[in-house]
Structure formats: C-alpha cells, structure tokens
Amino acid sequence: MAKLKEYEKYIGIDVIYELELFAKKLKNISIQNINSTFVGGGVAEILTRMIPLLQELGVNASWDVIKGEEKFFDVTKKMHNALHGKQVEYTKDEIDVYLNTNEENAKKLNLNSDIMFIHDPQPCALIKKKKTLGNKWIWRCHIDFSQPEKFTWDFLKDYIEEYDVSVFSAPSFARELKTPQALISPSIDPLSDKNKDLSEETINSVLEKFDIDKNRPIVTQISRFDYLKDPVGVVKVFQMVKKYIDCQLVLAGGGADDDPEGAKVLAEVQEITANDPDIFLLLLPPSSDIEINALQRASTVVLQKSLREGFGLTVAEALWKSKPVIASAVGGIPLQISHKYSGLLTHTIEGTAFALKQLLQNPSYAAKLGENGRENIRRNFLITRHLRDYLLLFISLLQKKEDIIYL
C-alpha cells in the first residue's frame, strides 16, 4: 500500500503537511465506516485505499460491512434503481426485510465509534441506534440522487434526517433536508494498481491475453454489467461507428457482491453482440486492477455511456491516463469533463457515435482532450484532496461552534 510521501510528486509537500496538521486535530478520535460490500464498486475501491492512509496519518479509522441474505440485497438493488429514477413498488415483506436486516446488524456491529460514517442506502437505517449512543453520524450518498423515485426517497428521508450531516457528490444531488449537507466529490488513487504507470510490455501482454489487436483502434468501456451503465447502448454505438471505421470494442468489468442483476445484464449483452469477433466482453474478477489499467492505457478512446452516475470513477481513471473520454452528461460526470476541453459529453446513442467517429478520425484533438483531462484530475480528483475534505468534515462535526475555518 502506498505511503503519503509517495504522492508528493503529484501534489507537492505542502499538501502532505496540511493533511498531517488536520489529522493531529483528530487524535484519539475513532471513525467507523460501514457500507454493503468489501469487493466491487466504487465505494469499496475508495475505502480500500482511504482507510490505510487515514491510519498512516494517525486517525483511528476502520471499516465494516452490513450483512444480509439475498432478499435484502434484492430489495436494496430495487432501492438503488429507484433512487436513480426508476418507478418501483415494494411489498410489506420487502420493507420488513430491509428494516429487520438493519436492526439485526445494529445488534452485531460495533457502532460506538466517535464518528459513524455510513455509506449509501443499504445500512442507512442503522441510524436508529444513534439515540442510545450519543456519537456523531454521517450519511454518505455515492449515487445519482438528482431524480429519486418519490416513495423511496420519502422512506429513506426519515432516516437520513436523523444523521448529523449528509454528504453528496455533486450539487444536483443535494436534497431538501432539515439537517446540514456537504458536497464532497470522490477520487482516484494514482498509485493504485488500477492507475499506476505500466510498462509497454505489461500493456501488450494483457492485450495478447485477451486476443485484442494492438494495431487497430480500441474503444473501451470499463464498468459493472449494470443497466444503468447502458452496455447495450455502448454496443449500438460501436455497431454504428464500425460501418465507417475499422475498430474494436472492449466491454470489461465485474460484479459487486451487493448487486444481484449483473449476470442478467451480461447475458443480454452477450445476446446482442451476436459473436462479433471485434467485440470483447470481459467478465473480470476483483483482482484484475492491472488488466483494467492496461486496457484503459491501450485504448484509443474510452466511453462511459451511463444513464445515471453518482460520479464515474472510470472516467477519472481514463482521464488520469491522458485518454480521450466520451461520457454521458449525467450525474457527477460533468464535474470531471468540461465539454470539448477535457472530454466530450453526450446525451444520446447517435450523439455518442458521432463523437466517437470524430475522435477516431482526429487523433491530435483526441490527444489534447486527454492531456487537459489528466491535469483536471490531478488538480481536483486525487485521493489526497478527498482525504483533506473528509478530515475537515470530521473536524467540523466535532466542533461545538457552528462555523469553523482552518487557513
């Protein structure tokens, strides 16, 4: 695991000194993170890198997960889709499964830390335990909350308003709440296996492993096989462009332990690709960070055609590698991409296909977009900025005064 000193070449020594200063103010403070999975998805990925850095700074940070049966994760997946705007209905049994699972976990988990940091809807109802503990609680929303389905939002709102503060990734996700809200964007770790520099030999070996031709343009989307990532739409974009430009498509990703729909989505994508030899569907295990890194670095253009997106870590990953990115103008993606400066934002399949043809036919323009994109990520979306924001949030939460500014 990378040490803070290793980030100096990207951020400068002053930022590291600042992190150490803020961390000293949290001496003897315990912070417990709880989400729904140790493996798969952006939340687990961020926490895997964040917790060791907090601990190196001397912060007593830990991480646990809520446990449940298949029925629970079916219900929370339905909630996830509903919060992204899908109309759903719940049975009384489904609501009971959600609440009972949270109640059972509240009995088993250690919820006594000075700050409880709860991530996303799955463990949201753990807040019911707060009244007997007297500690501080943060609810961190990582998903696109811009158009939530009304019943699901109203149901969760009663719990969210029991938290001391709620954290969202983008201004458009903020909701009308009785309690304070903070805006903190996610980040990537430039020193992780998924983002560190790779040799040309390593990149080529990964392409050979999957029989991908390095001498022809490669168009890639890295994502879970999830309806909201629109892999079917990506295939349609590719099929439109391939009529005019010889290229290959890589759709690569894995699943998450808390997502029961992945196999179904993958099966639908396999059906529509009709055994096209230029389409590579790669279902990768969680240990595939080097492979994902290499696929992104080998790509001519990277796509992220999400229908909804809390942030889109894969966008930041590709931009960090100076790759031209075409992405949907949804959720947290426009935070990372300034249209026609650090990438291209699109709204439709046809618009995405037009943008892809443009970049494949104009490599100098594509390279400039990638160059600008990398600098934007360096300035705004590396894990050290994320650490700073969280440290300041923790400090402010523990202060008795309402307003506090550290210069």
Check if 4-187+382-398 and 200-380 are the same fold.
yes
CB atoms within 10 A of CB 80: 23
Tell me what pLDDT residue 255 has: 63
Query: Under CATH, domain 4-187+382-398 is a member of which superfamily?
Result: Glycogen Phosphorylase B; (3.40.50.2000)
Query: Under CATH, domain 200-380 is a member of which superfamily?
Result: Glycogen Phosphorylase B; (3.40.50.2000)
Tell me what pLDDT residue 407 has: 40
Place of tokens 């983008």: 170
Tell me what pLDDT residue 405 has: 46
pLDDT tens string 75-85: 999 999 999 88
| One-letter amino acid of 141 | C
User: pTM, whole model, 2 decimals?
Assistant: 0.92
252 has which bridge partners?
222, 282
Model confidence band, residue 403 (pLDDT cutoffs 50, 70, 90): low
Model confidence band, residue 146 (pLDDT cutoffs 50, 70, 90): confident
Using the Cα atoms of residue 48, residue 49, residue 52 and residue 54 in order, give the sign of their dihedral.
Answer: negative
> What is the phi/psi pair of residue 110, to 5°?
-85, 110
d(CA 187, CA 25): 23
> What is the phi/psi pair of residue 366, to 5°?
-60, -40
Query: Would the pLDDT of 337 be above 70?
Result: yes
> What is the phi/psi pair of residue 202, to 5°?
-65, -45
d(CA 158, CA 178): 10
Model confidence band, residue 42 (pLDDT cutoffs 50, 70, 90): confident
List Cβ neighbours of 28 (8 Å cut-off, separation of 6 or more). Answer: 60
> What is the phi/psi pair of residue 221, to 5°?
-125, 125
Which among 352, 377, 348, 254 is positioned nearest to 301, based on CA atoms? Answer: 352
- Residue 30 φ/ψ region, left for φ over 0, alpha for ψ in the -120 to 50 degree band, beta for the rest: beta
Euclidean distance between the first and the last CA atom of the chain, given in angstroms as a whole number? 30
Instruction: Assign 119 to helix, strand or coil.
Output: strand
d(CA 184, CA 141): 10
Tell me what pLDDT residue 22 has: 97
CB atoms within 10 A of CB 302: 27
Tell me what pLDDT residue 305 has: 98
Buried/exposed code over 233-245 (b: 16+ C-beta within 10 A; e: otherwise)? bbbbbbbbbbeee
Model confidence band, residue 406 (pLDDT cutoffs 50, 70, 90): very low
Average pLDDT (123-147) is 93
Model confidence band, residue 160 (pLDDT cutoffs 50, 70, 90): very high
pLDDT tens string 97-106: 999 999 999 9
The residues spanned by each domain of the chain are 4-187+382-398, 200-380
Which among 103, 101, 130 is positioned nearest to 32, based on CA atoms? Answer: 130
Model confidence band, residue 39 (pLDDT cutoffs 50, 70, 90): confident
Query: Would the pLDDT of 317 be above 70?
Result: yes
